[in-house]
A and B are shown apart, each in its own frame.
Chain A
Amino acid sequence: MGNRTIVPFGPQHPVLPEPIHLDLVLEDETVIEAIPSIGFVHRGLEKLVEKKDFQQYVYVAERICGICSFMHGMGYCMAVENVMDLKLPDRAEFLRTIWAELSRIHSHLLWLGLLADAVGFESLFMHCWRLREEILDLFDMTTGGRVIFSVCKVGGVRKDIDAEKLKKIVEVLSNMDSSLRSITKIFLSDTSIISRMSGVGVLSPEEAFDLGAVGPMARASGIVVDDRLLGYGAYPHVKFEVQTATEGDCYARTKVRINEIFESISIIKQCVSLMPSDTAIDVPVKGNPDGEYFARLEQPRGEVVYYVKGNGTKFLDRMRVRTPTFANLPPLLHTLKGVDLADVPVLVLTIDPCISCTER
């Protein structure tokens, strides 16, 4: 048995600008245990719900995370709408789906860039973010914001996308296709990247299930789990396949996310072609929410759960968010056991951690 050392990882670490702290117990160069601590960016957003009007809280919900901001707003709205029994117009559901899938592409491209940076491939990182910028421009054009869209509201959406802009979205996505394929091919076939990722942090399907992995982390271990199959939004109207892999290592997680980008592009194109011509995008909201509901939806990182409890006044009693990164921390700690210290940054990155989400 070698010497045991404890190496702190984070809360500030070059590979991850988010404050997660791991105490890595090392034996020589191998991690034998990882002890996490979170709580560096807690903002008390769940308490704030008692002081904000339920319609105004959408703006707070959106600010839980900077990457999947739209889906946080959407999750909150879905929960409140279900409490209030609101039936959204079809066009609103399609618009929400388009923005949600664009968010997924943007999140995965951002993550691919960070991964390239983590394995030391700076130019690849730049190219991923160049492509992501085109998606952000689409957000700018359709919602008026690059990161925080403020388009979701209880009872529908606040902005419509006209036919011209829908055409532009499809055009940009079609033009992106060839460069996206050449960039993602590098991740999947370049020797230097494969040697950093293949066989690192293997999570078997049983472990993934037992530890409650969600999203691409679970799908990379061969578990077919995707909340989009539940049929919220416009997903019942479009055809898509749940992307899975069987290896359960870092390479498989990358492959799943890359395939999801192409799947999202196909979903958006289907949504645009099926877009209802009826121009209603919202329904009037009368009264206050009274009751409780669990809303589940698939974010880029996995399943997010929104719990909302109203008491008949305009202030909600309770709001609770269970974010995907929180669910993915136990599998991460499990897979960290036995990897080399040098592989830890890449492995931590492959769960696509969003600590701001986790701590709310």
Chain B
Amino acid sequence: MSFFQMAKTVLSSMFKKPATLNYPVKPREYDPIVRGHIEIEIEKCIFCGMCQRKCPTGAIKVERAEKRWAIEPFDCIQCNNCAESCPKDCLHMHNTATPANENRDLIRDARISVDAEDNKDS
């Protein structure tokens, strides 16, 4: 048994850099493999629905007829199953969290392919 065991650690900590980051000034850099949020390259998408079938939480909705792809980011658990199963390699996992937004529809990010939008106009 002894006293002041912590003193040495405390004293040496006074001369070390802080273990934490000065956050807003110095943002954290994430490793490329960190799973943050899913992004889609809608031009490449063929609306096969594979990602919808592979999603364990049912966060992804694909409507082939309307050429529409949507994700509910609050349901997404970032498992990367959709990106791995995508035959066209158009889904990508980004290493930052879903960006904050006030507009829920924008967050959900329903995307319609360019052809479908063209058809709508005509």
Is B87's CB within 8 Å of the partner chain A?
no
Is A3's CB within 8 Å of the partner chain B?
no
B28-82 with Cβ < 8 A to chain A: 30-31, 33-35, 56, 77-80
Chain A residues, CB < 8 A from B8? 182
Assembled-state Cα–Cα distance A158/B54 (Å):
15
Q: Which of A53, A121, A144, A148 contacts B34 (CB 8 A)?
A: A144
Is A194's CB within 8 Å of the partner chain B?
yes
| Chain A nearest CB, measured from B71 CB (Å) | 16
Is B9's CB within 8 Å of the partner chain A?
yes
Q: Chain A interface mostly helix, strand, loop or mixed? A: helix
Whether the Cβ atoms of B80 and A144 lie closer than 8 Å is: yes
Whether the Cβ atoms of B35 and A145 lie closer than 8 Å is: yes
Whether the Cβ atoms of B34 and A190 lie closer than 8 Å is: no
Assembled-state Cα–Cα distance A121/B9 (Å):
13
Contact with B along A74-104 (1 / 0, CB 8 A): 0000000000000000000000000000000
Is A47's CB within 8 Å of the partner chain B?
no
Q: Which of B9, B19, B35 contacts A182 (CB 8 A)?
A: B9
Whether the Cβ atoms of A150 and B79 lie closer than 8 Å is: yes
Whether the Cβ atoms of B79 and A59 lie closer than 8 Å is: yes
Chain B residues, CB < 8 A from A159? 33
Chain A residues, CB < 8 A from B106? none
Whether the Cβ atoms of B5 and A189 lie closer than 8 Å is: yes
Assembled-state Cα–Cα distance A143/B33 (Å):
7
Q: Which of A107-115, A122-130, A264-272 contacts its partner?
A: A122-130
Is B25's CB within 8 Å of the partner chain A?
no
| Chain A nearest CB, measured from B27 CB (Å) | 15
Is B3's CB within 8 Å of the partner chain A?
yes
Chain A: interface size category: 20 to 34
Beyond A56-B56, A59-B56, A144-B33, whether A183 also contacts B2 by CB under 8 A is no
| Chain B nearest CB, measured from A200 CB (Å) | 16
| Chain A nearest CB, measured from B60 CB (Å) | 13
Assembled-state Cα–Cα distance A143/B6 (Å):
34
Is B10's CB within 8 Å of the partner chain A?
yes
| Chain B nearest CB, measured from A338 CB (Å) | 24
| Chain A nearest CB, measured from B81 CB (Å) | 8
Is B100's CB within 8 Å of the partner chain A?
no
Contact with A along B5-31 (1 / 0, CB 8 A): 110111001000001000000000011
Whether the Cβ atoms of A141 and B31 lie closer than 8 Å is: yes
| Chain B nearest CB, measured from A208 CB (Å) | 26
Whether the Cβ atoms of B35 and A183 lie closer than 8 Å is: no
Is A185's CB within 8 Å of the partner chain B?
yes
Q: Which residue of B lies closest to A142 (CB)?
A: B33
Q: Which of B2, B3, B19, B79 contacts A130 (CB 8 A)?
A: B19
Chain A residues, CB < 8 A from B6? 121, 123-124, 186, 190
Q: Which residue of A lies closest to B84 (CB)?
A: A158
Whether the Cβ atoms of B78 and A150 lie closer than 8 Å is: yes
Chain B residues, CB < 8 A from A53? 56
Q: Which residue of B lies closest to A131 (CB)?
A: B19
Chain B residues, CB < 8 A from A127? 9, 13
| Chain A nearest CB, measured from B10 CB (Å) | 6
**B positions within 8 Å CB-CB of A:** 1-3, 5-6, 8-10, 13, 19, 30-31, 33-35, 56, 77-80, 84, 93
Q: A56-B56, A144-B35, A194-B1 are in contact. List 20 more A-B contacts (CB 8 A).
A: A59-B79, A60-B56, A123-B6, A127-B13, A140-B31, A145-B34, A145-B35, A145-B78, A148-B77, A150-B77, A158-B80, A182-B8, A185-B5, A186-B5, A189-B5, A190-B2, A190-B5, A191-B1, A191-B2, A191-B3
Could you jot down 16 A-B contacts, CB within 8 Å?
A: A53-B56, A59-B56, A59-B77, A60-B56, A140-B30, A140-B34, A141-B31, A145-B35, A145-B78, A150-B35, A186-B9, A189-B1, A189-B5, A190-B3, A191-B1, A194-B1
**A positions within 8 Å CB-CB of B:** 52-53, 56, 59-60, 121, 123-124, 127, 130, 133, 140-141, 143-145, 148, 150, 158-159, 179, 182-183, 185-186, 189-191, 194
